[in-house]
Amino acid sequence: MKKIFIKTIAVFIAIVVLVIVRTNTLAGAEYIPITTANTCLLLKITDKNRPEQTYFGKNIRNIDELKKLDAETFAAYTTAGVNHVFEAALRAIQSDGNTSVELRYLSSSTEKKDNNLIHTVISLKDEHYDLFVNIHYNAYQQEDILEQWVEIKNEQKKSIRLTHFASSDLSFNVSDYYVSHFYGDWANEMNIDEQHLTRGIKIIDSKLGVRANQFTHPCFILSLNEPAAENTGEIIGGTLAWPGNFRFCFEVDNYNKLRILSGANPYASEYTLEKGETLKTPAFLFTYSDKGTGKMTRNFHRWALKYGIKNGDKERSILLNNWEATYFDFDEPKLTRIIDDAARMGFELFLLDDGWFGKKYPRNSDNAGLGDWQTNRDKLPNGIPYLINECKKRNLQFGIWVEPEMVNPKSELYEQHPDWVIAQPFRERTEQRNQLILDLSNPKVQEFVYNTVDRILTENPGIAYVKWDCNRYVFNSGSPYLPAGKQSHLFFDYPKHLLEIMEKVSRKYPDVTFMACSGGGGRIDYGSMKYFDEYWISDNNDPIQRIFTQWGAQYFFPAIGLASHVSVSPNHISGRSTPLKYRFDIAMAAKLGMDMQPSQMTEKEYEFSKNAIQTYKEIRNTILHGDLYRILSPYKHNRTVWMYVDETKDEAIVFNFLIRKEVYPVPPTIVLQGLDPEKQYVLQEINKAPDNWSRFSKYEGKIFSGEYLMTVGLHFAMYDEMESLTIKLKTKN
C-alpha cells in the first residue's frame, strides 16, 4: 500500500512539473519559429502536446499572421507504432518489448550563439517510457541555411533498440513534386537525374558503409509544383553531413502530401542504447529558395565558406602531383627533377602520391604495403625530410598521400592484426583494390589510424598538405570487436569514430591542408568537409567528363574545395585526346592543380601552361570565394557557360565550353548574372590559345554596363570540337 501511495505522489508531481514547464515555455505562445533572414520553419504545439510543422517557406515580416488561421499541420517528428501508418522518423523497441513510441512536448529553448547563429532545442519525452528526444536546430541567418539533428536518450532501467532514427522530418502539400539527385560511379561522378514524384515511396540511399557516396551522393533538390529551374521557382535543397550510409525517403501519401525523412540509413543498423546512453544523429542541412536552384547553391556556398569547409576564408595552393607521371615507379632523383620542374613553372606545392612506404612489403604496386607506414628507403634513402627540404629550397610546399583506414593482406600490419579488419566469420574476406578495411569500431584501431597520420606529420615536420584517400567500400560487414548483439552498430559507429579521428587530427594540425579523396567523389559531405580544405571529386580528369562532374558537384559544394587537375592527353582513363587549353580552362574553373608534368610538354605547351598558372593566381580569389551563376547547362545545350562574381562585384570570370562540335551553330546569347547594373566593366579574354586567335575580338577591351551585360548579353560563335573561352570582366577605374 505504501508503494502504491509513493508511486501516486510521484506521478502527481511529474504531472505538476509537466504543467509548469508547459506553462512557462508556452505562456500563451504555442508556436516555435525557426527563422533566418529569408526563411521560416514554424512549429506549433498542439493541444495534445505534440510538435507539428505548420509552415515552411519564405519568411514574412509578421510571423503572427501565420497563426491567425487554423492552418494544416504535419507531425514535426513522426514515430511508429500507434496512429502513424506511413514511414516514421523514429521507431524504437522499448525495454519491455513495446514497439511503439508516443512523444510529448516538454519544453523548448532558443539561444543566440552570435549575430548570425540561433540555436533552438525542442525537448520531447515518450508519454509512458523514459525515452527522451531533443530536436536541435541551427538557423544561419545570412546564409538561409537550417541545420537539424536529433539526440535520443534512454533513461529506462534496461536497454532499448532503435530501428529508425532520422535526423529530419519535413512535410509539404502542393500539386506536384520533382526531386533531383546525383548518381554515378568511379570516374563518372555527380550526374543529375530529375524525377516527378508520384504516390508511393522513392528512396535515395547508400549501403556501402565506407566511401559511401560512390554510387549516389547525400544531397537532393526538391522542386515544388514544377521542374527545377535555375532562377525561378520554389526549391528545397538538402544534404546530410555524414560520411556513412544515408537515406532520403520521399513518401507521397494518398492525399498527395509529401513527407521527406533524411538521416543515417537504418539498413542493417539497429542500434542498442543502454541506460543513460544517447545516440546523436548526423546533421541534415537544408535551405529554401524562391528563386530557383541558383539561389539555393549560393546559400550553400556562402555557408560552406564560413562553416562547412576548413579554412574557407583562406587561399588555396596550386599543386603538381606526381601520380599520373610515375604511379608507383619513382625514386629520389626522379622526384627531385619533378620538384625542380614544379618550381620553374610557378607551382606552389608538390604532392607525393601513393607508393612511398613499406619495408618488408614495399609499396611498388597496389597489392602490398598498405598499413605499413614506414618510408621505403630503397626508393627514398634520405626519407621524406629530404623531399621537404628540396621543396623548401625552391620555395615550394610539400604534400603527401595516406590511406590510413585500409590494409593490404600482404602487409606487416595484417600479419600482426588479422582481427582488425571488417569481415564476417566463416565468410570469404572479399578484397577491392587488393585491400581490406580496418574496423573503426575497435578503439585500438581508432588509435592506430590517428597515430598513423600523427606520426607521419610529427616525424616529418614541414608537411603542409595531406591527401587522405579511401579506395573501397564494405563487403561482409562484420566486426571482430563488437559483441554478437551489437554487430548492427558497425555501419553507424564507423563514420562516427572516423569523424572523431578527423576532428582530432584537424585540431592538432590546423595549418596543414587536408584533401578528402576517396578514389574520387566517394567521401564528399559536410560532416567530413569541416576537417578538410579540399575534395577530390573524381579520378577522371578528362575535361568533357569534368564539365558534368563539376557542374553537378557545385550545386552543393563550392569551388574553393573542388580540386581539378590538368592531365595528359590522351587521358589515362577515357583515352580521349583534348586540347591543352580546354584542359586548363576546366581545371581553372575550380581549384587548379596538375598531374601532367612539365617534362612531358613541348616548348609551346610549356609556355602556355606557365602563363595559365600565373593568370590563375590573379583570378583565383574570384573563382574560389565568389558567387557562382550557372548560365547554360551542359545537359540542355551544346555550349555550357557559368561564371563567378567576387563579393564587391568588381570582377567576374566567365567560362565557356563547347561540348559538341556544330557545323552550323546558332550561337546562344550569354546573358550574364550577378553583376552590379550601375558599374562599367571592361571585357577581356584570358588564357588565350597559343596561336592568340580569338572569336571574342569584337568585345575585346570594350566597356559595357552591368545592366547591358545582364539584359542584352554577349553573342559570339564557337565552332570547333572542344573549344573553350574564358572572359574576365573588371570594373573600369
Structural contact between residues 564 and 543, judged by C-beta atoms closer than 8 angstroms: no
Q: In terms of DSSP bridges, do strands 534-536 and 513-516 run parallel, antiparallel, or are they unpaired?
A: parallel
User: Per this entry, what is the length of the chain?
Assistant: 733
Helical spans, DSSP H, in 255-331: 292-303, 323-326
**Rounded to whole angstroms, how far apart are CA atoms 533 and 593?**
14
In Å, how far are 231, 628, 681, 731 from 673, measured between CA atoms? Answer: 10, 9, 13, 15
User: Cis bond leading into 690, ω under 30°?
Assistant: no
**Rounded to whole angstroms, how far apart are CA atoms 373 and 363?**
10
Single out the residue of 378, 369, 432 nearest to residue 402, CA to CA.
369
CB atoms within 10 A of CB 290: 14
**Rounded to whole angstroms, how far apart are CA atoms 641 and 718?**
12
For 354-508, strand residue ranges (E) read 397-402, 406-407, 436-437, 463-468
**Quick one: residue 276, left, alpha or beta (phi over 0 = left, psi -120 to 50 = alpha)?**
left
User: Residue 307 gets which letter from DSSP?
Assistant: I
Residue 327's contacts (CB-CB under 8 Å, 6 or more residues apart) are: 354, 355
Structural contact between residues 531 and 309, judged by C-beta atoms closer than 8 angstroms: no
**Rounded to whole angstroms, how far apart are CA atoms 584 and 46?**
58
Residues designated catalytic:
469, 539
Measured on CA atoms in the order 617, 399, 586, 712, is the torsion positive or negative? negative
**Amino acid identity for residue 707 in this structure:** E
**Quick one: residue 346, left, alpha or beta (phi over 0 = left, psi -120 to 50 = alpha)?**
left
**Rounded to whole angstroms, how far apart are CA atoms 207 and 249?**
14
C-alpha cell at 420: 582488425
Structural contact between residues 58 and 290, judged by C-beta atoms closer than 8 angstroms: yes
Where do we find the cell 590522351?
570
Instruction: Tell me the DSSP string of 649-665.
Output: SSEEEEEEEE-S--SS-
Residue 390's contacts (CB-CB under 8 Å, 6 or more residues apart) are: 336, 339
- The crossing angle, in degrees rounded to 10, of helices 332-345 and 603-625 is 70
Burial 696-719 (b: 16+ CB within 10 A, else e): beebeeeebbbebbbeeebebebe
C-alpha cell at 133: 528526444
- The crossing angle, in degrees rounded to 10, of helices 603-625 and 580-588 is 20
